[in-house]
A = this chain, B = another copy of it.
């Protein structure tokens, strides 16, 4: 394993990982989590430990329903967001169906939808979010099973969907009749600017087309694996049946831990602590890219985990991952984020796209990492 030192200035020989979007280890709230599980076990030992409802831990569902202003039956909680995407696609995708995603999008989501038989199509992402003209053209060719997008601080590009585009997108969804799955795991981690309403908040009453999903991996701890979806009760019931067939009931002690974390009011101070930790790292990443890769355009992220950029055509990207690794810099292959394009437009398949996660690195490591990237592509 490469050593990643998060407390001191990077040494020349230290490998720097700009690969996965992982939380900083020093902000994982182990003591709080132990206290929350202990409290849950004291209050509700049988509910936390016995076989449970396949829709998830009832008190957590009720609490989330209250936060979203929906019925308990509209909340599905499962073993993390990827499991949720897998079940959602298993339920919604029929043979021949397409699923639309932003281009680039979260690589594992693309894989999950493909494995459930979808033809996954990527719609170009612009600095203010998905290209709606291209989206409409694709929807006119074939109405998809659903559109999956990450409206806030997108993975991998760091982009936020503008308010105007959110409204137009919902008009399209209502007009053509397709589900919009908004995945908002980073939403609360805003370091700059003002929040834009969620698609759910903007959705047409009476013609609701939004399914909202999120997770506490980035807000509390990843290994708890607590992902949730808000949607119509019939859809939630169908997902629960699929979940029951697959894993009987979800893991409940970690759901009960999140329940206590929320109920005890620990989320807000934890998020404040995360923002205080991550905001300087986000700024450091923006500054490092401006310093070491001057002239390369990118949309400065206002929150989340990632800055994404597309290197200019003259950049040397041949064997980039291997050359970077040899120089002590680990990168993810940009092509993994690019689903097949909606149209031949010469944008490439992500060879020049680089995702730069910043949360688990110090500002010094970030600067050194981007410096090594600049050297590698020069």
Contacts and interface: CB of A to CB of B under 8 A. Distances in A.
Interface stretch (A20-28, A294-302, A323-331): A20-28
A50 B38 contact: no
A112 interface: yes
Nearest to A220: B49
A49 B20 contact: no
A48 B30 contact: yes
A34 interface: yes
A226 to B, nearest CB: 9
A96 B13 CA distance: 54
Contact of A223 (B33, B50, B223): B50
Interface in A74-124: 79-80, 82-83, 86, 108, 111-112, 115
Nearest to A20: B51
A46 interface: yes
A51 B22 contact: yes
Contacts of A177: none
B82 A248 contact: yes
Interface in A3-49: 20, 22-23, 25, 28, 30-31, 33-34, 37-38, 41-42, 45-46, 48-49
Interface string A170-192: 00000000000000000000000
Contacts of A42: 30, 34
A45 B223 CA distance: 11
Interface in A197-247: 217, 221-225, 245-247
A366 interface: no
A366 to B, nearest CB: 19
Most buried by B among A22, A48, A246: A246
Given A31-B41, A253-B254, A254-B254, A222 B50 contact: yes
A30 B50 contact: no
A253 B251 CA distance: 10
Given A115-B245, A225-B247, A251-B251, A33 B49 contact: yes
Given A25-B50, A82-B246, A86-B246, 19 more contacts: A25-B45, A33-B41, A34-B41, A34-B42, A50-B221, A51-B222, A79-B79, A79-B225, A80-B249, A80-B251, A83-B247, A108-B245, A222-B249, A223-B251, A223-B253, A225-B251, A251-B251, A251-B254, A253-B253
Interface of A: 20, 22-23, 25, 28, 30-31, 33-34, 37-38, 41-42, 45-46, 48-52, 79-80, 82-83, 86, 108, 111-112, 115, 217, 221-225, 245-254, 257
11 contacts: A22-B50, A25-B46, A25-B50, A38-B38, A79-B247, A80-B248, A82-B246, A82-B248, A115-B245, A251-B254, A253-B257
Shortest Cβ-Cβ A-B pairs, 7 listed: A30-B45, A223-B252, A49-B221, A34-B38, A251-B251, A83-B247, A30-B41
